[in-house]
Amino acid sequence: MATTSLEGHTLGKYRVLESLGRGGMARVYRAYHPQLDRYVAIKVLRSELIEDDLPNEESWYARFQREAQSVAALRHPNIVQVFDFDAEDDVYYMVMELLEGDTLKTRLNDVRIRGEQIPWGEIVRIMLDALDGLAYAHSERMIHRDIKPANILLSKNGQAVIGDFGIAHIIGGTRHTASGALMGTLHYMAPEQGMEGTCDARSDIYSLGIVFYEMLTQRTPFDADTPLAILMKHIHDPLPLPRQINPDIPEPFERIVLKALAKDPASRYQSAEAMAQALRAAAEEATVDLPTRISLPLSFTTTEVPSESVAVISGTTRQVLAARQSTGDVQFADDETDITLGEKLTAAPPTQAPSPPDTESREKRRQRPPRKYSAGRAVLNGILIVLLGNLLLVTLSVPLSNWSIFETGWPAQIFLAALGLCFIMFATGSIWMLIPTGIVLGTGLLLAYSVLNNQWAHWEYSWVLQIWVIALSVVSPFWLSRRRWFARGVSRALAAFLGLIALVAILAIVANSVTGSIPFAQELLELTQSWIETWNW
């Protein structure tokens, strides 16, 4: 049976109705199973992938059958279900569930045409669905090997479902003895997969990290004119930071991208579960609300979507994309699975050699995600600031024989504590540290006023300021925390400003205690009283 035209033919129990599209490894058809009264999708493997000269007297069909059984055993709502597999007249095919919806590739191209952006919450929901499917498959010792937007389906039920799970596995499993058998999509391929032909769960995580990058920025990070040049960029080039392309991207999402796309597999997330957990925490930090389901594909919700975008990018849609890409307005990657990557990379000229080792190590250092300052270390350093401050005060008191620093300058201890809290607030970037820092610093300022001026009688009026200090210190973090990536920068700026106030107050108290001179606060008080008397007159 000729594999070029199966429409109207029967494959086993299935009546082939129409072609749905084709990719690098298979052609997809819609078919009907009359006994079960069910429509299915049939993927027919390309004939050039079939090998008849396998070693150890094992037939191609026997290996295809073994690998397909492993794929068909996968049962997960975020993985396209494989129902059946067989061969007929040298036509090898797999039967799987037929899902209504668009691919993520189609959704991305649709928003590119409109100059829009997929909402952050929907991006995270797509990623979490895909990670759930990968986590299950990896637990079953199954690696996808070809994660990309074209293989992520957005179903009419509002779920992201991984498609083609097993096609690359089956072809790779039956071709691993052949020379140059590397296949896949270089724009989304992990460095170790392209360079060494080896892959594991972390390779799938890298590929999904590229998909995440593309959803955030609407472009893939690495592109070039030749396959080897693209591979060399994956291996050696620093990652273009997503927030440099789109500053509106939440900073926690950029951290997820940096870790997922680490050049060294050991530096990435070691499991899909770990990446999903980090992504949920990043969404919470960025105060991004997660929808319970993905919005319906555009082809089901609007008539404005070009009809050809549902299946393939062609016609007027392709012209629009090509025009916008030529101006640099949008970029889209060629995500066709290439079954001849091995041959292309082997035949590449030696002039496209890898970068020197020193360049690689330098770029790897630039690739590392920013280090987090642990809260425990920040607290320890804050305590050290208090201890060091007291040591300096003792050192100053002994040669001057002036212990008034501790007798009358005791508010300096409160400001030392406030200075330590400011350090913790700056190091951790936590806006919630404003509560204890503001209360301690405000209390210290009120007490310092009374100590420096010996005006404790004023306390019966000034205590109401303490209530305002506490109220502002408690309310401000709640107001600022509504935009957490904004609050992190504000908290550090406030920590620096409040720390400067604490440091100036300490120096003023120490100077007053050592010299015994009239404090500048008394002069300020007299000036204020004079101003009040003038206006009362």
146: annotated active-site residue? yes
| CATH numeric code, 101-367 | 1.10.510.10
At residue 399, the pLDDT reads 64
Ranges for all domains in the chain classified under CATH 1.10.510.10: 101-367
- CA dist 26 and 151 (Å) reads 13
The first and second tokens of residue 274, run together, are 């770990």
What are residue 43's DSSP bridge partners? Answer: 28, 94
pLDDT of 55-93, one tens digit each?
444 566 777 777 778 888 889 999 988 888 888 877 888
Would you state the structure tokens that stand for residue 402, as one six-digit string? 């002036």
What's the rounded Cα separation, in Å, for the pair 78 and 67?
20
State both tokens at 519.
Answer: 């404090």
Structure token digits, residue 49: 């992938």
pLDDT at 526: 64
Decide: helix, strand or coil at residue 162. Answer: strand
The beta-carbon contacts of 296-302 under 8 Å, at least 24 apart in sequence, are: 296/156, 296/158, 297/101, 297/102, 297/106, 297/107, 297/154, 297/156, 298/102, 298/106, 298/107, 298/110, 299/102, 299/106, 300/100, 300/101, 300/156
Q: Which residues of the chain have pLDDT under 50?
A: 1-3, 53-57, 173-181, 301-322, 324, 327-332, 334, 338-340, 343, 350-372, 517-521, 537
Q: Give the DSSP per-residue string, 505-536.
A: HHHHHHHHHHH-PPPHHHHHHHHHHHHHHHHH
Among 146, 164, 335, 338, the one annotated catalytic: 146
- CATH 3.30.200.20 positions along the chain are 1-98
Strand partners, 86: 93
- The alpha-helical segments, DSSP class H, found in 429-519 are 434-453, 459-480, 484-515
Looking at residue 76, its pLDDT comes to 92
Q: Looking at residue 240, what is its pLDDT? A: 93
Query: Whole-prediction pTM value?
Result: 0.59
Q: For position 238, what pLDDT does the model report?
A: 92
Architecture, CATH, for domain 1-98: 2-Layer Sandwich (3.30)
Q: Quick one: how many helices (H) and strands (E) in the chain?
A: 21, 9
* Long-range Cβ contacts of 372-376 (<8 Å, 24+ apart): 373/427, 373/428, 373/429, 375/424, 375/428, 375/430
pLDDT at residue 183, as a whole number: 62
d(CA 189, CA 373): 32
Question: What CA–CA distance (Å, rounded) separates 341 from 184?
Answer: 7
